[in-house]
A and B are shown apart, each in its own frame.
Chain A
């Protein structure tokens, strides 16, 4: 199966091209999976986005009609703007809380950090569906604990489910809660890498904890902050299961996000071609985010 190398010592150790069969055998399984479940769908997805395919039977090429229709479709625009609004709310909230918690966890003054860490981490383990159910249980309009407490203290029940904006806010809070564990781990690793001598020097100069945080910690962990924002943005743009279980994109269709829109046009109403066009708009947005990452990375490296 593999060739022995008689002149091992003559060739450079790392880069050797004479072993071709062994690596190809090793990647064979993944190549097949890649071709079947990535390459093929990507190609037919692009093709279908120019057709009126419904999933069965024949289809016709209709050029850019799907894309034209998409830009005149107010449901699509509602989904797009709602997704952007969700992202704009979720990313900063998650950022602030994970950074705060990461800082408290690495501080030597806080006792019991290794136990407390588990509390922040468990929500990240739970599936988005369970997270949604859990927050729905807390924020139920007629039965939830939150409204019960509000009424008990003299307030009137808040329409957490029937008001579109309040409903979105509940999802934002739930998502930030669930994703803190992930962002927090990245921040903890970054904060631990900041040289201790910086803080010593700063405290000799009389800088307080807040000043140290702003002038030392924040600039030092800037690359990590950027990654956290980026990953969370991509994650938020693709969110669907959390909405599905928390408010099912409702009330009505007011909180339908892009992926739900794609799912519903593609699978509920069978407009595969149209849904593929919507998918490619989502892909362009995600690619734009990825390109921003590349550009910023390059700029940081060049500095």
Chain B
């Protein structure tokens, strides 16, 4: 999971597969096969890309043209939908709220998961074993199953209608703990032993040695956590009733759930909500694609 890992891996796919199929007569046979395979790939890519493309291009059309001129490219590109969403529909506030939730929740998730994962990997006592089973149990009982009781607990803690009420219940994730545990299991125990012999205290071993070397895992989990929190819908919907505290997803849904949908605003707001995730993804692509997302299902 080093920085140089990704480009190699991308090319490794086709590269490693070279001897897979018949190696004789590769030049002429290669072209004959390359054409249908490449065509199929790009037809599929076009089919998958088209909905987003159509959506984004539509968002640049003026409100009056949305239903009348169904051309691919806007005749008269405008940002009016974005302006209406950002100022008029209060998306600027939603955007700030969601960013606050995502950043704080992600920092807490990464920190807490790193501590837990390290403890589970490198120590052994019965309390840890019990807690390990407890974390496993959280994967069996997803939040959707406990909506009502969880709501009551958070309400009784006085966190109803606050951003803290969204952030705190989301911090514990089994995925995060297991990612760190998996990583620290691969770190040799000799490293800890050596530090102990040198007189380092347990927690400073963790903070000075283990935290720095787990940086790739931190980044991967941070990206996943950012995506989960950015896309959360049900829990913020239950927790918030003050429109000033809405997150972006609730903002979009409240527009779409209305009797008469103002599509110009919906399109603008939705595209605004996509931007942070796509930027994060494109910048950190290698960490997402390399991640062992076997465990990283949406949380």
Interface stretch (choices B79-87, B89-97, B189-197, B213-221): B189-197
Chain B residues with CB below 8 A from A130, complex form = 249, 252, 270, 273-274
Chain B residues with CB below 8 A from A36, complex form = 153, 157, 168
Cα distance, A247 to B36, chains bound together (Å): 38
Q: With an 8 A cutoff between CB atoms, is B73 at the interface?
A: no
Number of interface residues of A (CB under 8 A): 111
Binary contact track A245-264/B, C-beta < 8 Å → 1, others 0? 10010000000000100110
Cα distance, A291 to B144, chains bound together (Å): 19
Q: Is there contact, CB below 8 Å, between B281 and A125?
A: yes
Chain B residues with CB below 8 A from A282, complex form = 144-145
Contact A133:B112 (CB < 8 A) given known A105-B41, A121-B281: no
Cα distance, A125 to B150, chains bound together (Å): 27
Binary contact track A19-31/B, C-beta < 8 Å → 1, others 0? 1111111110111
Contact A45:B146 (CB < 8 A) given known A13-B190, A33-B168, A133-B252: yes
Q: Which of A109, A238, A267 contacts B38 (CB 8 A)?
A: A109
Chain A residues with CB below 8 A from B274, complex form = 125-126, 130
B77: min CB distance to chain A, Å = 18
Q: Which of B172, B189, B266 contacts A37 (CB 8 A)?
A: B172
Number of interface residues of B (CB under 8 A): 113
Q: With an 8 A cutoff between CB atoms, is B104 at the interface?
A: no
Q: With an 8 A cutoff between CB atoms, is B115 at the interface?
A: yes
B149: min CB distance to chain A, Å = 4
Query: In the complex, how many residue pairs between chain A and chain B have their CB atoms under 8 Å apart?
Result: 325
Cα distance, A22 to B147, chains bound together (Å): 34
Q: Which of B141, B289, B293, B297 contacts A283 (CB 8 A)?
A: B141
Q: With an 8 A cutoff between CB atoms, is A112 at the interface?
A: yes
Chain A residues with CB below 8 A from B147, complex form = 259, 262-263, 266-267, 275, 279
B82: min CB distance to chain A, Å = 15
Q: Is there contact, CB below 8 Å, between A5 and B13?
A: no
Q: Is there contact, CB below 8 Å, between A128 and B115?
A: no
Instruction: Find the B residue at minimum CB distance from A148.
Output: B70
Q: Is there contact, CB below 8 Å, between B125 and A17?
A: yes
Contact A27:B116 (CB < 8 A) given known A106-B17, A119-B45, A248-B257: yes
Cα distance, A19 to B14, chains bound together (Å): 49
Instruction: Find the A residue at minimum CB distance from B285.
Output: A118
B168: min CB distance to chain A, Å = 7
Interface stretch (choices A62-70, A74-82, A88-96, A179-187): A179-187
Q: Which of B169, B177, B193 contacts A13 (CB 8 A)?
A: B193
Q: With an 8 A cutoff between CB atoms, is B16 at the interface?
A: yes
Chain B residues with CB below 8 A from A30, complex form = 112-113, 115-116, 131, 135, 171-172, 177
Contact A145:B54 (CB < 8 A) given known A37-B153, A107-B17: yes
Q: Is there contact, CB below 8 Å, between B21 and A17?
A: no
Q: With an 8 A cutoff between CB atoms, is B262 at the interface?
A: no
Q: Is there contact, CB below 8 Å, between A31 and B131?
A: yes
Cα distance, A20 to B128, chains bound together (Å): 9
Chain B residues with CB below 8 A from A61, complex form = none
Contact A14:B13 (CB < 8 A) given known A38-B172, A110-B37: no
Chain A residues with CB below 8 A from B36, complex form = 109
Instruction: Find the A residue at minimum CB distance from B128.
Output: A23
Cα distance, A48 to B197, chains bound together (Å): 54
Cα distance, A8 to B112, chains bound together (Å): 28
Q: With an 8 A cutoff between CB atoms, is A122 at the interface?
A: yes
Cα distance, A29 to B22, chains bound together (Å): 56
Chain A residues with CB below 8 A from B277, complex form = 125-126
Q: Is there contact, CB below 8 Å, between A29 and B115?
A: yes
Q: Is there contact, CB below 8 Å, between A122 and B52?
A: yes
Binary contact track B161-198/A, C-beta < 8 Å → 1, others 0? 00000001101100001000000000001100100110
Q: With an 8 A cutoff between CB atoms, is B208 at the interface?
A: no
Q: With an 8 A cutoff between CB atoms, is B287 at the interface?
A: no
Binary contact track B249-282/A, C-beta < 8 Å → 1, others 0? 1001100110000010011001001100110011
Q: With an 8 A cutoff between CB atoms, is A138 at the interface?
A: yes
Cα distance, A130 to B250, chains bound together (Å): 11
Chain A residues with CB below 8 A from B249, complex form = 127, 129-130, 241
Contact A20:B142 (CB < 8 A) given known A110-B38, A272-B152: no
Q: Which of A1, A45, A121, A241 contacts B203 (CB 8 A)?
A: A1
Cα distance, A290 to B140, chains bound together (Å): 7
Q: Which of B67, B145, B193, B270 contacts A8 (CB 8 A)?
A: B193
Contact A26:B118 (CB < 8 A) given known A37-B150, A111-B34, A133-B256: yes
Which residues of A come within 8 Å of B, CB atoms? 1-2, 4-5, 8, 13-17, 19-27, 29-31, 33-34, 36-42, 44-45, 48, 55, 100-101, 104-114, 116-123, 125-130, 132-138, 142-143, 145, 148, 177, 180, 182, 185-186, 188, 192, 196, 199-200, 203-204, 209, 227, 231, 234-235, 238, 240-241, 244-245, 248, 259, 262-263, 266-267, 272, 275-276, 279-280, 282-283, 286-287, 290
Given contact pairs A36-B168, A143-B67, a sample of 11 additional A-B residue pairs in the complex whose CB atoms are under 8 Å apart:
A17-B125, A107-B37, A109-B36, A112-B42, A120-B44, A126-B274, A180-B48, A182-B297, A209-B21, A262-B144, A266-B147
List 12 A-B residue pairs with CB atoms under 8 Å apart, sorted by A's residue number.
A30-B171, A30-B177, A37-B169, A37-B172, A41-B149, A45-B145, A116-B42, A122-B52, A145-B54, A234-B142, A241-B234, A245-B253
